[in-house]
Structure formats: C-alpha cells, structure tokens
Structure 1
C-alpha cells in the first residue's frame, strides 16, 4: 500500500492554535478493514470472499503475510485485533479437521469445535513467523491437545483403579509432547521408550482410557457387514440371564416376608425351605392340615398382591 506521510502544522507551532488540516491518516500500511485485506489478497493473486471460506492453499499464503503484520502491530491496537481475528477465521478449517478425528465421542461436535477454537487461538498467539514450519503444522498438535484435555476432563463412564487413571494421564501428556516433536501421533512403542515403561504397560493405560466413553448396546457393531440390519453390539456381548427375574423377585419379597406374623413366617419356611407337607407342618406347630392350607393360601395371595402392587 502507498505510504502516507502527515506533515506537522507550522501554525500550531507558532501561535498554539489547533490546526484546521484533516486528521492524520492511518499509519503506513495499517490493516484494519476488509478493503485493506482484499488489497493484500489481490497482491497475492487471491480472490478473497469470506475469510472462513478461503481454500487452504490461499489461507496459508494470507496467513504468512498476516502473521508478519500481527507481530509488527502493537497489542491492543485496532490493527492487532483485526489481524488476529482474521487469522482465526482463515484457519478454522484446521479446527474442523482436528475435531473430525473425535467425531465418535459422545460429546456434541459443537462443543469439540469450540474447544478446538481455543487451541487455535493459543497457537496463533504463540506462533512466530521466523519458525521454519507452516502454521498448520504448528497449530494442529496444539488444537488436538486442547480437545484431548477437554475430553479427558469429561469424566469416566466405567470406574478404573487410580493407578490406571494416573497412567492414562501420564500417557496423554507424553502423547501431546511426542506429537509436537514428531508431527504425528506416537506409537505405543515410542511412548514406552519415552516414559521408560514396557509396551504392555502402555497398552494397559491406553485400554483404560477407553473407559471414558461407552457405546449403546443398540448400536451397530463396527465390523458389521454393509446394508441394513447389521449386527448390534447387544447380540455379541449380551445374553439373556433367565434367573435374573427370579433374583429380582426374591429381593423384592425379602421385606414382605420379614413383615409376616411369626406363625405364617414359620409355615412358609417349613413348606418351601424344609419342604414339609401340609400335614407334617400341622403336626409340627399343632394345628390341622386344613388350617395350614388356609393360612398358606392366604399368605401366598397376600405376598403376590404386594409384589405386583405399584409403589
């Protein structure tokens, strides 16, 4: 852009009067609006629309120029705020790409993108144009690390021992550090060497990290064949326990039986515990077989009604 030089008014220096000349123009090359950005883009051979819709190759070219402007601008000025905001818009594709790697998690994608944007802002604030690396290469590990920290803090779906929880945190930190160093996700063997652990210990920690999320038993199995009607997870990992309902009924009956009068309680115990006949029970407690039958029927009817009644 052309350099604009404002000359001081000699009248003001002589008599102190406020000069009537127009206000000074913005500093040379100052970037504070979309028109200035469009001129920079045109100079790079880029037809600029909305910054967020810029294709990645053009976004990289513009970002190189804008980072130089950002570092030259004074923090807190209009130019600094505009350039920083434009860099965020230009590089939102990095956030969406990083977030897509975590699409299988239970957290809403909007939340993951929002957290990833925080990582992008941190990367922009830390990046130095003198680094011999593309901004995207520098930013992706930072964005992914921010998302991973968010997912680690969302809680565990299944309880695991404290030792494994701490091991998982250690592995997560090591993974972030190695990912920054290697520009890719480290292998279990590389993490084991970095932490002086065995590969089996690393695999145990990685397995424990899966307890942070759970899949529905009604979900289709990952390796199901194509087409509708694939196997659901419940068909593979669950089976019907026929005695389960019996156990539930017995647990529900315990307080009902405990509340019975002593004689009815004794009759139930002798009939279904000791498996005595009604005549034997009558002789044992000193009543007739007919009385035992009536008491037993009345007790069972009452228990059945109480068991079926809604709370």
Structure 2
C-alpha cells in the first residue's frame, strides 16, 4: 500500500511543522516507509518545545505511524491468555509511547530495535502484575507465556497435544520445570466456589464447592479438644499427670509407675478410670 503523504504547506503551517510531510492516515503508512519517516519526525522532535501543539503533532504522528510494531509484538502473545487482542495492543501502545519519549536519534540505533523491547516488556509486566488470581513467582509467570506459545506451535506442527517431554525439548527446560509451569498456570484464573456446575437442568447443577470440597479432619479434632478441655480440669492432679506422661511424653505404664512411685497395675487401673470418665463426659456432651 503506498504511503498516504501530502505536501500541503497550509496544513504544515497550521501545526508549525512546515518541514515535515503531512500524513493523511499515519496508521496506514507501510512499515518500511514508517522507518524513514520516523527519522524525520524524531529529528524535528529534538528542536520542538515539549508541550507545544507542534511537539504533540510530531509525537502523535510517530505513535500512529508505529502502531504496526505494537501489533507485531502483541502477536507473539496470541493464545497466551484470554484477553482480547485489542486489549493487549493498548497495553503495548504504552510501551511504544515510552520508547518514543526515550529514543535518541543521535545514538544511531534503529527505532524498531529500540522500541520492540519496550513494547514486549510492557505487555509482560501487565500479564505479571494484573492477571494472576494468586501470587506466583515471576519466573513461573513468564514460563507460562512461553509454555502457551510452545504448546500452540507443537500442536500445529505435530497434529496432537504435545507431551511434557516434547515441550521440555522445545523450551529448553527440564520436564520438571514444564510440569511446574503447568501447575502454576492454575493460579492464573479463579472461580467462585458458588459457581454452578453440572447438567443443563436446574436440578442437575450443584455448587463447585460440592465437587472439590472435603471434610477437614482437623476441624473434628478441634471440636473434640474443645469438649475435652473442661473434662480434664475435673480430674484430680494425679490422673492428669498420668494422662500427660502416657499420651504426651509417651511413657510406658511401668515407667509411669516408677515416676509416681506406684505399681504398673495401679497405673493401669488409674489410667482406665480416667479414660472412662473422659469418655463418658464426651458422650454426654455430644
């Protein structure tokens, strides 16, 4: 597509940029032409006063001319997450603007080479900082993006879902690291425990919590301890001491007898009596 450029000096005089070409549609400028025209605009930008209408004209034209760089960089993340491509392009445009504001033509570096890392970095930062439902280490967040790209590439090439070994080979990672990245990807999205799952009919659905939930044995244990505490307080000091030596310090009945100066048989009778009282109290409480 030919570059849409006019040489209307009246338009140039209105913006105070008579020495710059006036572009009818900067976004339609071909990438090859954009590289050359960008040099002209950057050169002019260095002598314009920041904040003036003329400066904004040159800067905005540079942004619009180079949006193709953003789309090129954003395409690398296609399939990496569920966002619309336009959303990713908007984030990448922020990186493009930062690159334009920091670019120095005098360094002799091509603007495309300078801008792409800024654009990609902004998109990655957006993924890393705003997308995860739970905190995941940065290396695993970045590995997830690479994993998605590798999965898409191998699926197209091989015609089937790639194995862990195939992904590890392409990504130059160990199989353990690939598995770790897959597990970490589970932290990317969250679903309410009240979300309905099941069949099409209302009677066939149930909350997600009913599918993944399970009873925590620690809760029942807590209830037992809560009930048992006042029952222990009702025992005499020697009975509590025997229970402590048997079930906390895990001493044998013979060792407990030695500690208390009584026979093993006496310890056995006292222990059985204390446990019977506790058992009866627990049953009464329930």
TM range (shorter): 0.3 to 0.5
TM-score, L = length of structure 2: 0.44
Higher helix share: 2
